[in-house]
Chains A and B, each alone.
Chain A
Amino acid sequence: MLILDNIPALLVAMPLLASAVVSLLPSARIGWGIAFLTTLICLYMAFELVGIISSTQALSYAFGGWEPPWGIVFVLDSANVYLVLLVAFVSVIATLYAYTMLAREIAVEDLPKAYAVWLLAIASLFGLAMTGDAFNRFVFLGISALSSITLIALGAGHDRRALLAAYNYLIIGAIGATFYVIGVGYLYAATGSLNLIDISDRLNELGTNQAAITGLAFMLAGIMVKAGVFPVHIWMPAAYSYAPSAVSSLLAAVATKVAIYYFARLSFGIFIDITQLVDFFLLYILMPVSVLAIFYGTIAAIYQSDFKRLFALSSIAQIGYITFAFSLNSHSGISAGFIHIINHALIKGALFMAVGIFALGIGSRATMSSMQGVGRQMPITFAGFVMAGLALIGVPLTAGFISKLYLFKAILETGNGFYVALIALSSVFSVLYLWKIFEVMWLKEPVQPLKINKEPASAYVPVWLMVAVIMIFGVYSGDVISSGIGAANALIGAR
């Protein structure tokens, strides 16, 4: 069937076309309707893709009939098909949430165009998750960066500091993207190809090559900026905390995750001939940096009083867990990393959404002082928030527990119990900041009446949908675990 054959292209083309249509419409409501419909169709197509991949293992979609390695290809295998599904699911939920929340957090005149940019961001995320062409990825990185920067800057309708956050992200993101493209240039000079699979084959014939190694270093550095890995994360806290809540939840949930996925693909899937160097990078650079990220993010979050910034800092720590799992450089480590990619996307998305609703309720930024007793005033949202918070710590019966369990298993396989202690300690620290929030929001008396009559159902239903999935994945974790193992199989072969 024509549609089924072209799903990879349609996943990008549909939001892209819808974005052009929405940008011409004067009405924000119709714009939202088109955006929501598009994301729903994308979700359906992503499910179809999962079905196709589970029967055929891998799919290569060549554009315009130009066969790889000459043309641009979208490559789907068990490493990224669940990522596509994750992007599709989170974008449906975030669009649903945006219906009420985006309208309240940005200037009214920006609203119709905002959905056009929103769809552009979603299209680029699908593209980033699927493309198998090194330069095509740079183009998608550009679309993704420009649309997310615009969305972050829209927060200026509420808080003008969003402009500074967006500007900083633009400068740092553009440097990162340029580093990436320098790396691609080196690889092209060394191999004469842009198709990642072809590059990998040619590098194997070429043996150790200085230009290829330099190229890899540049590409990894550029991707690390996009992924918010610790020393180059500096754009992240401000960007997430001043962006509109719907935007923060979309970006925090999936935008960094597609970069992390590519980071794993570059580290494990391409440079098979220079494994020693990659091993060195993982063990002596990525691992210490990840441990620092985990402790920096967690401890900085304890001292932070602004809720959104706090969760952005905690994102740095959570991305630290993912890169730490990758740095173990084992089959179970990669599985654990991919499991945490899915779980953390859901958890952090739900948390940012809930914080947005609290801020709406009190009519100002959510901070430790302004949020006293708000949990009692908004019990439905607060209950979902607490469940997501428990999942972030890694309490049993939540998805977070599965992540931690598999991370511990992966560490114990390497026989280094010291790291288990470190991860456990950082979990204890994360209890501290979540307890602080719980204490302020639930145990203190409310100080002021809410600015809204009741919690908007269209805002807390998406939170609860996310929380429901987190809980389901905590109990029936088979699918997530097998997706993580499938990803590891696709990247470094079954073991």
Chain B
Amino acid sequence: MSINLIVLYWNYITVIMLMMAGLYIIISNQNFIKKLVGLSIFQSSVFIFYISLGKVSGGTAPILTGVEDTVYSNPLPHVLILTAIVVGVATNALGLALVVRIQEAFKSIEEHKLLALKKEDGLKDIQIEVTKEDSPV
């Protein structure tokens, strides 16, 4: 029974696993770039969710060929996801741009270092020492 379920709904199970992985990365990581990677995974899982929604089993691409009784997949979710991908790319680009600016301004993109500085209430004036392991690459 449960094996059957997994086989039947493997695409949705993949979506859920990716979704949880993405969210977990966002929450658990201190590094701002890794957080963005998590966000990307999280968004991609939703893209896959939409794309599986539109798939009709046995269906082909929705192009009129004149052959009768053809089963077509639903193209609308796929089109929606094209838009969502654009939004996702823009979000990631802006996020990365911000990370570059944060690195320039604070010399660190590690959340715990920035938070520690915030507690000291000197975020504006204190220069942060750069160590090798903090470098953003």
A residues touching B (Cβ–Cβ < 8 Å)? Answer: 135, 138-139, 142, 145-146, 149-150, 153, 156, 159-161, 163-164, 166-167, 170-171, 174-175, 177-178, 181-182, 185, 188-189
Contact = CB atoms under 8 A, between A and B. Distances in A.
Interface stretch (B1-9, B60-68, B86-94, B129-137): B86-94
14 contacts: A138-B84, A145-B91, A153-B101, A161-B118, A163-B102, A171-B26, A175-B23, A175-B39, A177-B87, A178-B43, A182-B46, A182-B49, A185-B49, A185-B77
A171 B38 CA distance: 10
Contacts of B23: 175
A188 B91 contact: no
Interface string B94-137: 11001101100110000000100010000110000000000000
B87 A139 contact: yes
B72 interface: no
Given A142-B91, A161-B123, A135 B39 contact: no
B71 interface: no
A170 B87 contact: no
Given A142-B87, A175-B23, A178-B42, A161 B124 contact: yes
Nearest to B38: A171
A145 B94 CA distance: 11
If over half of B's interface residues share one DSSP class (helix, strand or loop), that class is named, otherwise mixed; here it is helix
A163 B108 CA distance: 12
Given A138-B87, A174-B39, A178-B42, A189 B95 contact: no
Nearest to A161: B123
Contacts of B94: 146, 149-150, 170
A129 B105 CA distance: 36
B55 to A, nearest CB: 12
A115 B47 CA distance: 33
Given A171-B35, A171-B39, A174-B39, A160 B46 contact: no
A166 B102 CA distance: 10
A478 to B, nearest CB: 42
B11 to A, nearest CB: 13
Which of B36, B49, B50, B87 gathers most chain A CB within 10 Å?
B87
A164 B102 contact: yes
Given A135-B80, A161-B123, A171 B53 contact: no
A126 B55 CA distance: 34
Contacts of A170: 91, 94-95, 98
Nearest to A184: B80
A270 to B, nearest CB: 19
A167 B102 contact: yes
Contact of B105 (A160, A174, A182, A189): A160
A181 B124 contact: no
Nearest to A173: B91
A313 B114 CA distance: 22
B48 to A, nearest CB: 11
Interface string B23-63: 10010000010011001001100100110010000000000
A182 B20 CA distance: 13
Contacts of B36: 171
Contact of A185 (B32, B50, B118): B50
A156 B105 CA distance: 9
A167 B99 contact: yes
Nearest to A149: B94
A401 to B, nearest CB: 38
Contacts of B95: 167, 170-171, 174
A135 B43 CA distance: 15
A166 B98 contact: yes
Contacts of A163: 98, 101-102, 105-106
